[in-house]
Amino acid sequence: MKKIFLCLLLSIHYCLMYGQSLPNIYPDTSNVGLGTLTPAARLHVNNKAGTYTIAKFTIDGVSPNVGHIDLGNATGTIGTFIPNLIARSYFPTPRPVGMIITSFIPDIDPWSTTDSTFAAFNVDSRSQDQNNKTLNLANVFAVKNNTKPLLMMKANGNTGINMLNPIAPLHVSSTNGGSVAKFSYNHVSTNSQAYIEFANSTSAPGQYIPLIRGQSLTPSDRPFGIIIQGMAQDIKPNGNEPNAAAVMIDGRSKQWTTLQNNNVLSVCNLGAPLMIMQANGNMLLGTTQDSPHKLTVEGSVGARKVVVKQDAWADFVFDDDYDLLPISELAAFIQKNKHLPGIPTTKEVEENGQDIGEMNKLLLQKVEELTLYMLELKKENDALKERVQKLEKQ
pLDDT digits (tens, 9 = 90+) for 87-119: 999 999 999 998 999 999 888 888 887 888 888
Half-sphere exposure (CA, 13 Å, Cβ side) for 73?
Answer: 16
Nearest to 363 by CA among 378, 348, 341: 341
The pLDDT score that the predictor gives to residue 311 is 86
Same domain for 341 and 377? Answer: yes
Same domain for 340 and 289? Answer: no
Position 226 in a domain: no
166-195 pLDDT per residue, tens: 999 999 998 776 788 988 888 776 666 789
Please identify, among 51, 68, 102, the residue that sits at the C-terminal boundary of a domain: 102
- Integer Cα distance of 8 and 2 in angstroms: 10
The pLDDT score that the predictor gives to residue 154 is 94
Query: What's the whole-number mean pLDDT along residues 58-82?
Result: 90
- Integer Cα distance of 49 and 54 in angstroms: 10
Q: Predicted confidence band at 221 (pLDDT cuts at 50, 70, 90)? A: confident
Position 58 in a domain: yes
Same domain for 58 and 83? Answer: yes
394 or 127: whose pLDDT is higher?
A: 127
Q: Predicted confidence band at 150 (pLDDT cuts at 50, 70, 90)? A: very high
φ/ψ of 310, rounded to 5, equals -120, 145
Q: Structurally, how many domains does the chain consist of?
A: 3
Inter-residue contact 201 to 209 (CB < 8 Å): yes
- Integer Cα distance of 157 and 306 in angstroms: 57
The pLDDT score that the predictor gives to residue 118 is 85
294-308 pLDDT per residue, tens: 999 999 999 999 898
Position 340 in a domain: yes
Same domain for 277 and 323? Answer: no
78, amino acid identity: I
Please identify, among 102, 136, 165, the residue that sits at the C-terminal boundary of a domain: 102
Least confident of 73-77, 348-352, 363-367, 373-377: 73-77
361: containing domain: 314-393
The pLDDT score that the predictor gives to residue 5 is 42
Residue 22 carries which DSSP code?
P
The four Cα atoms 57, 60, 64, 66 give a dihedral, to 10 degrees, of: -110
Same domain for 281 and 329? Answer: no
Going 81 to 82 to 85 to 90, the CA torsion angle's sign is negative
Give alpha helix (H) positions in the chain: 2-18, 327-337, 346-352, 356-393
Please identify, among 42, 67, 102, the residue that sits at the C-terminal boundary of a domain: 102
Same domain for 386 and 324? Answer: yes
Same domain for 32 and 65? Answer: yes
The pLDDT score that the predictor gives to residue 19 is 40
Inter-residue contact 211 to 226 (CB < 8 Å): no
Position 376 in a domain: yes
Position 219 in a domain: no
Inter-residue contact 286 to 301 (CB < 8 Å): no
Same domain for 374 and 346? Answer: yes
Count of CB atoms situated within 10 Å of the CB of 46: 15
Burial track 189-215 (b if 16+ CB lie within 10 A, e otherwise): eeeeeebebebbeeeeeeeeeeeeeee
Position 188 in a domain: no
Position 70 in a domain: yes
Same domain for 293 and 319? Answer: no
Same domain for 290 and 321? Answer: no
The residues that bridge with 273 in the sheet, in sequence order, are 268
- Integer Cα distance of 354 and 347 in angstroms: 11
Same domain for 342 and 379? Answer: yes
Position 280 in a domain: yes
Distances (CA, A) of 180 to 159, 167, 321: 15, 16, 76
Same domain for 30 and 74? Answer: yes
